[in-house]
Structure 1
Amino acid sequence: MDPSLDDIALFVEVARRKNFSRAAEALDMPVSTLSRRISELERRLGVRLLNRSTRKIELTEAGGVYFERCQHVVAEARIAHEQLLEVAQQPKGRLRISMPVSFSLSFMPVIFRDFCEKYPDIECDIDLSAHAVDLLADAFDLVLRFGLQPDSGVISRRIANMSMGLYASADYLASHGRPAVPTDLLRHQCLRTRGSRASSIWVMKSGNRTEEVTVSGRLSINNMGMLQRLAAQGVGIVPLPIYSPSEADVGEPLQRVLPDWELQPMPLMALFPSRLMPAKVRVFIEFLQERLASLPAREHLVPRELAHGAVAG
């Protein structure tokens, strides 16, 4: 009997992740069942595809050749199935997404609510983290990260460019003064995402002018939400997206600093394991892009006397 496409798909999942437990989790089936099905596939083919050990599995030479051929066949079949379902009904299934904590807390609550209302047959499984993800081994359909990503063999797409401005509390500005030009930032406490030199170099633009300032401060935290809360407590000046939902604002309203200047936009990147995009992933990305493009500006955070100089973004 020839092997079924289902069994081939199981093998491809195990070969991608090189781990039965991870593959079983992604497939939502017992590890014992998955191992038995792979053994039956090897028996039918008459060749060993995997070298198993207590710690890991590796592809045999024959398994490597089989995987290279079969992964594209399985992907094409899965997309064909998704497209067929899309004709008859709304996209469905479990959508596994990894995204940064701060981005999720600031932007996603209302977006997730509305997405779930529009696509009731999609179950969202969200991981909030900023750690590096191996899309070929971890069970994610989509990973969202800020900044250009290193070439890791996965597919990436720019979802949005987040325009960035500088903000501080009224108390901080009353105590330390309001910067008039970018070089004034050298005398201020600047809140950064990391203590590295790269995150301390703020490149600012105003029309055709560009200024590069190496800032400093006593605090650097890899969480934008926490930095915003610290700024609200009068700790320093913080870079924040110019566009943001009002529910993301915490504490006392922050005031725009150097409103004629913007920092370099921060790209939001979507990473995928394959160019063949399931319908559930495609509709989520389209929904997210549309909502991010329509975000309101933080104009209410700019003092009224400075509003005429605010950058629209």
Structure 2
Amino acid sequence: MEFLNDMAIFVEVVKARGFRGAAEALHMPNSTISRRIGLLEKAIGLRLLHRTTRKVELTEAGQVYYERCKRIVDEARLAHEQLGDMLAQPTGTLRASLPVDFAVIYMAPLIAEFAQLYPGLTFDFDLTPRQINLVTEPFDVAIRIGEQEDSHLVARHLASLTPFLYASPTYLEREGEPATPADLAGHQCFNMNKNGLWALHGGDVVTQVAVGCRYALNSVGMLRRLATLDQGIILMPPAIVADDAAAGRLRQVLPAWHGKPVPVYAVTETRLLPAKTQRFIEFIKQRLEAEHGTRPQDIART
């Protein structure tokens, strides 16, 4: 790479007919330009330029070298421009693993918008609750919810979703509305955590409540649906229950309290990503930031 940079400097010196003009065009010190050309001539073993006080002229060897260097540098610049075009309008198939309910309920509108922005892309989405293997399986990215275990993968933090308590009006009329977090112990509370505990935050206060329910399941969509069928209280991010809340099928309970924010990550095998994957992650991150006001961070798992 350094050798190619020296070739580009040499071409600029010839085009500018001197070190000063090249230094101005490249925004580099004149002494640096002169030193790089000297190192290039030393590496080749031939003098390329005749230096005078006013200008430089090509030697015979320099003329031959310049013609070839100019062709190489021009091709490199063209390739750089073409890669820029690819980044602007990526093509190909984006293969992503997505959490089932989160994808259907929340990400579908974002994906539709992203697809409209990049018509050259096609999509292969695998909606599954399992943790796919990004090393052995042909996926570009996996969207995962919750803290990630340490591994050799790269997890980019996209957002943190804060869950709140919801129940149907009919359930609350039948069972009574809890007035404090402690009252939840006497209610049917859907919990995906095996420990049966909800950590609820109210301002600077954090309290743990032991909750229980007749149902044990691992589907966000099923939890939400059962809650609308008057079966109990759920702890969900507002975006997941927005339609049901707007339609009156669910109502917020204990609005001054909320659960621990749940992180959302884009997980990849490497930091060196193709344009299609970069654009997808950037878009999802931007939209989640806009809606949830979170700051992104990249976490390298080693």
What TM-score range do you get, normalising by the shorter chain? 0.5 to 0.7
**Further displaced range: 126-135 or 285-294:** 285-294
Q: 2:221 aligns with which of 225, 236, 242?
A: 225
Give 2:278's aligned residue: 282
Counterpart in 2 of 1:209? 205
Residue 93 of structure 1 deviates from its aligned partner by: 1.3
Kindly state the Cα deviation for residue 149 of structure 1 after the two structures are TM-superposed.
Answer: 1.2
TM alignment of 1:29-44, pairs within 5 A:
none
Residue 87 of structure 1: how far off its partner (Å): 3.1
- Asked if 2 retains the 8 angstrom alpha-carbon contact of 1:83 and 1:279, the reply is no
Q: How does 1:186-197 map to 2 (within 5 A)?
A: 186-194=185-193, 196-197=194-195
Secondary structure of 1:150's match?
Answer: coil
Could you tell me which of 235, 240, 244 is aligned with 1:239? 235
Q: Give the letter for the 1:287 counterpart.
A: F
CA distance 1:187–1:224, change in 2 (3 Å): same
Percent identity, please: 36
**Aligned residue in 1 for 2:163:** 164
Does 2:118 match 1:122? no
SS of structure 1 residue aligned to 2:177: coil
Name the structure 1 match of 2:269. Answer: 273
User: What is the alpha-carbon distance in structure 1 between the residues aligned to residue 215 and residue 228 of structure 2?
Assistant: 14
- CA RMSD for the aligned pairs? 2.2
Tell me the amino acid that sits aligned with residue 202 of structure 1.
W
Is the Cα contact below 8 Å between 1:229 and 1:250 reproduced in 2? no
Q: 1:109-135, CA deviations, whole angstroms, 9 ceiling, x for partnerless residues?
A: 211111111011111110001202111
Q: Within 2, Cα distance between the matches of 1:251 and 1:261?
A: 22
User: Which blocks of at least 5 consecutive residues in structure 2 are unaligned?
Assistant: 1-78, 293-302
**Equivalent-residue separation in structure 1 for 2:213 and 2:80 (angstroms):** 51
State the alpha-carbon separation in 1 of the partners of residues 245 and 257 from structure 2. Answer: 21
Structure 2 counterpart of 1:92, one-letter code: T
C-alpha deviation, 1:146, in angstroms: 0.8
Structure 1: distance between partners of 2:173 and 2:217:
24
Contact map agreement 1:164 1:240 (CA 8 A) in 2: yes
| CA positional deviation for 1:203 | 0.6
- Give the Cα separation in 2 of the matches to 1:188 and 1:111: 35
The CA deviation at 1:221 is: 1.3
2:110 is equivalent to residue 111 of structure 1: yes
How far, CA to CA, are the matches of 1:158 and 1:139 in structure 2? 22
| 1:231 partner amino acid | A
- Give the 3 Å change call, closer, same or farther, for CA 82–139 of structure 1 in structure 2: farther
- Which residue number corresponds to residue 134 of structure 2? 135
- The CA distance in 2 between the partners of 1:126 and 1:224, in whole Å, is 19
TM-fit CA distance, 1:291: 2.0
Q: CA deviation at 1:295?
A: 3.9
- Aligned-partner residue type, residue 106 of structure 1: I
Deviation of 1:258 (Å): 0.7
Letter in 2 for 1:146: I
**Contact (CA 8 Å) 1:163, 1:243: kept in 2 or not?**
no
**Normalising by structure 1, what TM-score?**
0.64
Cα 1:209–1:83 shift into 2, 3 Å: farther
8 Å contact 2:224–2:241 — kept in the other structure? no
The separation in 1 between residues aligned to 2:244 and 2:117, in whole angstroms, is 23
| Contact 2:154-2:270 within 8 A present in 1 as well | yes
CA–CA distance in structure 2, aligned partners of residues 227 and 127 of structure 1: 21
Paired residue for 1:3? Answer: none
Larger-gyration structure (1/2): 2
The SS at the match of 1:192 is coil
